[in-house]
Amino acid sequence: MPVVTGFPFTLDPARVLRRYGRETSALVDRPELRQVYEAALAEALTLVQPAIAYAVCPVLVAEAERLIIGKGQALESPVVARLFAEASEVVLAIYTIGPLLEERAAEYQAARNYVLGFALDLVGSAAVDEVGQVTYGLIEDLAKAKGLKASIPLNPGTSHWPLSDNKVLTELVPAADIGIETLESGLLRPFKSISFAVALGASVITPAEGSSCDYCDTRHLCRR
């Protein structure tokens, strides 16, 4: 059950922020806000502590509403069960940028420095996105080494997969080793942490062929 820290990490949030919509892209596109963005970025670079934890589990059986993996644990999603049914293994991963940035953003908010707090929080969200790219690349390399393909990632907390299943993921993944805990609600803490599952197989749907958004019932509400 590997843990990955200290990996090369380049934070360039502009690409990510523009994808979030006009309110966020204004930080990098409007001259009067550019100074705030640059201050947030400079501080974020001192606060981000990227870390990844993952586990590779065998796929045992796919039922109509859930996928049975590992030693009998269930991933309670009909979409996961359907898309990962033919896979030999599933990789469960959790990644984070640590607690420092969100704590600092909260301090700015408490001090009523709302613009800088907002900017720092957004840069942190972009950093999580970047760590997610590193995480998926790691899994893709793992799949290639096995002569397999890596599927699109699917996340607990989407319309077809309850957030409560994060408790299953943190049972199988060494999340505590990178400072992550699961709250009763299923949320991960630090909050700038994300979990997903990726199937390894010969005939899985890859990111070149589809997206997790294709299976989300609320995709029409998402600005991304």
What pLDDT is recorded for position 30? 75
Residue 7, domain member (yes or no)? no
Residue 195, domain member (yes or no)? yes
CATH number, residue 43: 3.40.109.40
Residue 134, domain member (yes or no)? yes
Residue 63, domain member (yes or no)? yes
Q: Using one digit for the tens of pLDDT, what is the confidence trace for 14-39?
A: 766 666 665 566 666 777 778 888 89
Intervals of the chain under pLDDT 70: 1, 15-28, 219-224
Pairwise CA distance, residues 4 & 147, whole Å: 22
What pLDDT is recorded for position 212? 83
Strand partners, 198: 91
Residue 87, domain member (yes or no)? yes
Domain count, the chain: 1
Residue 106, domain member (yes or no)? yes
Residue 6, domain member (yes or no)? no
Residue 169, domain member (yes or no)? yes
Amino acid in the structure at residue 8: P
Dihedral of CA atoms 84, 179, 132, 203 in degrees, nearest 10, equals -20
Query: Contact, 54 vs 135, CB < 8 A?
Result: yes
Residue 120 sits in which domain range? 19-202
